[in-house]
Homo-oligomer: A and B are copies of this chain.
Amino acid sequence: MRSDNNSGISPEILQAIIDENNGDAEAYGRDDLTARSEAVLQSAFECEDLKAFNLISGTAANSLIIATLSPTFGAVFCHQDSHVNGDECGANEFQSGGAKLVPLKGRDGKITGSELEEAIDWFTIGEPHHSQPSMLSIAQSTEAGTVYSPDEIHDLSTVLKKHNLKLHMDGARFANAVAKIGCSPAEMTWKAGVDALSFGSTKNGTLGAEAAIFFNGCDDGSFIYRRMRSGHLLSKMRFVSAQIIAYLENDLWLKNATHANLMAEKLYQGVKNSDHIKFSFPVQSNVMFAEIEDQLREKLSTSGFQFYSKKNGDISTSRLVTAFNTSPELMDEFIEIVRALNNKPL
């Protein structure tokens, strides 16, 4: 429950690694498998003009994409609670050579078109004292566990296009969002105006495999050099590529994400009426935030449930995360503990 990063490797993914270990191949992504992983992504996203660069870290994908899309003097809009703003130790400021991240508020971890418009309007285009608005980075699903609808994304991209800005999607949990909405990957991204996507898979069952994806010519040709000089060009790339192929094959990615989402939904339905736990945001993917009363939190902890908690004044908020390998039995156990407490007066 602590993090979907704690889960191991999906059996199908591990098998793909084993299968690939049958001889030599060109290093640094010049192998056939890496070319095939790009083709597989082009097909999954119904986009021929798609460029994919395999990586092994989501922060690498985010920060290298942002560095590619924003000039060094750019203003990059993002949600104040987003991973790119708060949980990457300044990676995006660093990789971009000093771009300014502009944190926006927004309900349920999401930004609306009008909030974005207002933020952009603060800046004066052409005024050298101002960082120049360059792009928006949203997470899908968000750091709050909520999910943008394609329409909401389209609203944002409409504002952005008006100002000639780019749209990046941090898809560390992209599969969970697609599984939730039930639309196609294309509808969730480039058809809604997304220019580049951090396509994550590590939190959803791979050992370590992420792809920085550019749609429709948004890479200016600099990415291969940015990847290398930041130390992210892997020599034995083919083993990352093998994971990406296996991840998309037979819809493993959606299968895993759907399961994780279901486990979250199961837990939520099981405890939502409790007085001792109060959910902070709509539950829409595999990540939930909740205020859990101290007594209950201790009981859960005693029973082996671990999760991040953050105190803000008197209120402590906990993050609950399910994964591809979370069992229904574990959810039942959690629910049982909550219900047991609920029957007793505090």
Beta-carbon contact of B128 and A28 below 8 Å = yes
Which A70-97 residues sit within 8 Å CB-CB of chain B?
71-75, 86-91, 93-95, 97
Beta-carbon contact of A93 and B93 below 8 Å = yes
Beta-carbon contact of B28 and A8 below 8 Å = no
- Check: A149 CB closer than 8 A to any chain B CB: no
Contacts of A227 in B (CB 8 A): 128
Which A82-114 residues sit within 8 Å CB-CB of chain B?
86-91, 93-95, 97-101, 103
Complex Cα gap A22–B325 (Å): 11
- Check: A42 CB closer than 8 A to any chain B CB: no
- Check: A337 CB closer than 8 A to any chain B CB: no
Q: Smallest CB-CB separation from A2: which chain B residue?
A: B26
As for how many copies of this chain the complex holds, the number is 4
**Which residue of the partner chain, among B8, B23, B27, B129, contacts A23 with CB atoms under 8 Å?**
B8
Beta-carbon contact of A239 and B91 below 8 Å = no
Contacts of A86 in B (CB 8 A): 130
Q: Smallest CB-CB separation from A93: which chain B residue?
A: B98
Complex Cα gap A28–B4 (Å): 12
- Check: A18 CB closer than 8 A to any chain B CB: yes
Contacts of A39 in B (CB 8 A): none
Beta-carbon contact of B231 and A129 below 8 Å = no
Q: Smallest CB-CB separation from A239: which chain B residue?
A: B207
Beta-carbon contact of B232 and A57 below 8 Å = yes
Beta-carbon contact of A88 and B129 below 8 Å = yes
Beta-carbon contact of A88 and B229 below 8 Å = yes
Beta-carbon contact of B98 and A228 below 8 Å = no
**Which residue of the partner chain, among B3, B17, B98, B226, contacts A17 with CB atoms under 8 Å?**
B17
Beta-carbon contact of A73 and B57 below 8 Å = no
Distance to closest chain B CB from A236 (angstroms): 6
A-B residue pairs in contact (CB < 8 Å), sample of 29: A3-B235, A7-B24, A8-B236, A28-B128, A56-B234, A57-B231, A57-B233, A58-B235, A60-B231, A60-B232, A63-B231, A71-B222, A71-B225, A73-B90, A73-B228, A87-B130, A88-B231, A89-B129, A90-B229, A91-B231, A93-B98, A95-B231, A97-B97, A97-B98, A128-B233, A129-B228, A207-B236, A208-B234, A230-B231
